[in-house]
A = this chain, B = another copy of it.
Amino acid sequence: MTYCVGMLLKAGIVMLSDSRTNAGVDNISTYCKMTIWENPGERVIVAMSAGNLAITQSAIQLMNEGNPHGDTRTSMKTVSSMTEAARLAGWALREVDRVDGAALRASGTGFSAALIIGGQIKGRQMRMFNVYAEGNFIQAMPETPYLQIGEFKYGKPIIDRVVRQDTPLLTAAKCGLVSMDSTVKSNLTVAPPIDLMIYEHDSLKVKVHQVMEDDDPYWNAVRKAWSDGLRDRFQKLPDPPWVM
């Protein structure tokens, strides 16, 4: 499985993904699930993927090579808006489905994939999309400024509590790490290295791209501080009126 979360904030974009891939419990590997197309001063587009790795790797490859249909060959390096980027991602998934889908369904594997595509192109708005396996998509909006794919439930409560559209980037990044920690702690199929990307509104370049291994000092400092903090605050919860 996988856990990826993206946040579209007034101040910019924060995206995190884990790196565990598994085909059954005895076939566990590490694959980066974050792909960045950056042309400083012109565009930053970031994709994160969940689901069948063969499908998402093929789709990312197609987004990179570009769609040969239409007037020009459009890739993530040339799309003129983030909505076009989402459409390209949707086209890529449908293209993989066209080629591989029948065989996958015939074997009972099914066609499972999801992408989060976020970023900004010069002169255009920042946007973030959740692209479904079917190739259609939704976008993050002010009321719900975050998108999750994969094993999203364990890490959702803390995001619901903390993240609003005006949350600062660093706070959102910390919240993403705490959300990832809760998921890693409760689900074996989600694990470091953690890819963390921070983009500042209108900067048109990646501000932070950290790959945090299991022994990363900051990742572990956050985990420990959060764990200690939770225990501490937990101890301070009020006693019930029916106290024993």
Q: Which residues of A contact B (CB under 8 A)?
A: 151, 153-158, 160-162, 169-171, 173-175, 178, 182-183, 185-186, 198, 207-208, 210, 217-218, 221-222, 225-227, 229-234, 236-244
Contacts and interface: CB of A to CB of B under 8 A. Distances in A.
A229 B153 CA distance: 21
B170 A208 contact: no
A155 B155 CA distance: 10
B218 A237 contact: no
Count of chain copies:
2
A227 B238 CA distance: 13
Given A154-B153, A157-B154, A170-B243, A178 B234 contact: yes
A99 to B, nearest CB: 31
A220 to B, nearest CB: 10
Contacts of A162: 230-231, 234
19 contacts: A153-B153, A154-B157, A156-B186, A157-B182, A158-B230, A158-B234, A161-B185, A162-B231, A169-B244, A174-B234, A178-B237, A208-B242, A218-B241, A225-B238, A226-B233, A229-B233, A229-B234, A229-B236, A230-B233
Task: Identify the 5 closest CB pairs spanning chains A and B, nearest first.
Answer: A229-B233, A153-B153, A157-B182, A156-B186, A218-B240
